[in-house]
Structures are given as C-alpha cells and as structure tokens.
Amino acid sequence: MLEIKDLHVYYGGIHALKGVSISVEKGEIVTIIGANGAGKSTLLNAISGIVKYREGSISFKGEPLPKLPHLVVKRGIVQVPEGRLIFANLTVKDNLMLGAYLRSDVNGIKRDLEMVYELFPRLKEREKQMAGTLSGGEQQMLAIGRGLMGNPELVLMDEPSLGLAPLMVQTIFKVIKDIKSMGKTILLVEQNAYKALATADRAYVLEQGRIVKSGRAQDLLDDPGIKESYLGVKVNNRG
C-alpha cells in the first residue's frame, strides 16, 4: 500500500534519513522503533509532506505520493502528530470537525463522529469543552479522533503514548488495535518499544537515519539485540 524507497532527508547540513526503504501493506500495523533523534518523526513528516526529501520516492497505492501536506491528506493519509497539537482554544467537537475539513459528505462525517464518540466516550462527555482543558490522555484521544475524522486509509501515529500515565498507555494501544479492526492501516512510531512491538504486525528498527533491522514484530520482541538496546532501555527509563 505504502512503498518508500531509498529516502534521503537533510536538515541543512545534517543528513537525517540516509536511504530509508520501508513498505506497509493494507490492513497491518507497522511500527518503527528507535532512540531519540533516530529519524522516526522525520520519516512520518516526510510522508505527510511537512519536511521535504531530497532523494528517493514514496508511492501510495501504486502512485507517487504528492509532496504537499493537504494533497497527502486528500489521498487518504492522515498523521496524528507528536505532542497531540490539538487546537486548544476550540471545543472538542470543533477539533473533531476540523479533522473532517477536506470532506463534504455530510452523512459520512456524521457517521464517523458517532464512531469516534463510541471509541472514546470521554470525548462525547466533553464535546462542548475547550480542548485545552482536557487531560493529557484525553487530548491524545482527541488527536486520534480528529485524525480518524478525515476517514484515512493509512493513519500515521507519532508517539501516541508520549507522556501518558501507564493506564492511559494501555488504553491508547488497545484503541490502536480497534482502529486496525476497522480496516485501517497504521504506521506507528514509538519510543515505547515493548508496547509497540506487542501491538504491531511488523516492525523496523531505525538507528541514526538507517533501517538496521526489520521483521515480524513478534520475532523482534524475542531478538536478543533488540531486548538489550530497546526493551532494556525502556525498563530503566520508565521504571
């Protein structure tokens, strides 16, 4: 479904992605794990058209993907950005409606709003509240819900568990599975490698701008190298 070949991204003189190739098939959850600064968010932003890539190609459903953010969304790829980035001074409902900005099918929007409220009953309760007054976990729900309102085929998720309480992390990962069962495809970037690998079907390991390992998520979970570098780090850091 999504095919990235030999992607190079530079920030000024810094070579952030050094020839990354990945693929995502329809209906699967693919995760990209890696340390801070490995280039995970850069990869998602390159797909979304937020950062420009100098070399390489991205194709979606067999056609080259446009390089401007609003055209990417039109093709059915929506990013749930890192740090939520909700519209703090708008109501929860307005936030969700902005997610459907490019759509004009009133009935479809209505149905998806119901679907998001079903997925996150908490958002329904707080429909008229200013989004900035929500808790961190609720804001993450809102960011995911807002992304789903665009009716994407592929959802790009950037660190959805960042800064959340353990219980909320459980909820978010359960929701990611629910979204998959709706028939959507998910590309997930996470620092919480254990959770990500336990949820995903396949995984790539990104280190300093290069893919160093890939395979079935379950296999990587049992890989001794991964265990030491990523799962070990996680235990020490997060307690």
Residue 158 CB, nearest distance to other proteins (Å)? 10
Are 176 and 160 in contact, with CB atoms under 8 Å apart? Answer: yes
List Cα–Cα distances, 171 to 137, 175, 231, in angstroms: 9, 6, 20
Shortest Cβ distance from residue 159 to other proteins (Å)? 14
User: Segment 101-120, which members bind other proteins (CB under 8 A)?
Assistant: 101-102
Please list the residues that pair with 207 across neighbouring strands. 210
Region binding other proteins by CB under 8 A among candidate stretches 21-29, 31-39, 73-81, 115-123: 73-81
Nearer to other proteins, 48 or 185 (CB): 48
Interacting residues with other proteins between 193 and 222 (CB under 8 A): none
Query: Pick from 185, 214, 190, 184: which is nearest to 202 by CA?
Result: 214
Q: Which residues fall within 8 angstroms of residue 90, CB to CB, at 6 or more apart?
A: 98, 130, 131
- Contact flag: residue 73 with other proteins (CB under 8 A): yes
Provide, rounded to whole angstroms, the least separation between the CB of residue 173 and other proteins. Answer: 21
**Using an 8 Å Cβ cutoff, are 152 and 96 in contact?**
no
Out of 35, 97, 115, 162, which residue is the one contacting other proteins (CB under 8 A)?
Answer: 97
Q: Is residue 98 a contact residue for other proteins (CB under 8 A)?
A: yes
In which element (H, E) is residue 225 found? helix 224-226
* Binding positions for other proteins, rule: CB under 8 A: 48-50, 68-70, 73-74, 78-81, 85-91, 94, 97-99, 101-102, 130, 146-147, 150
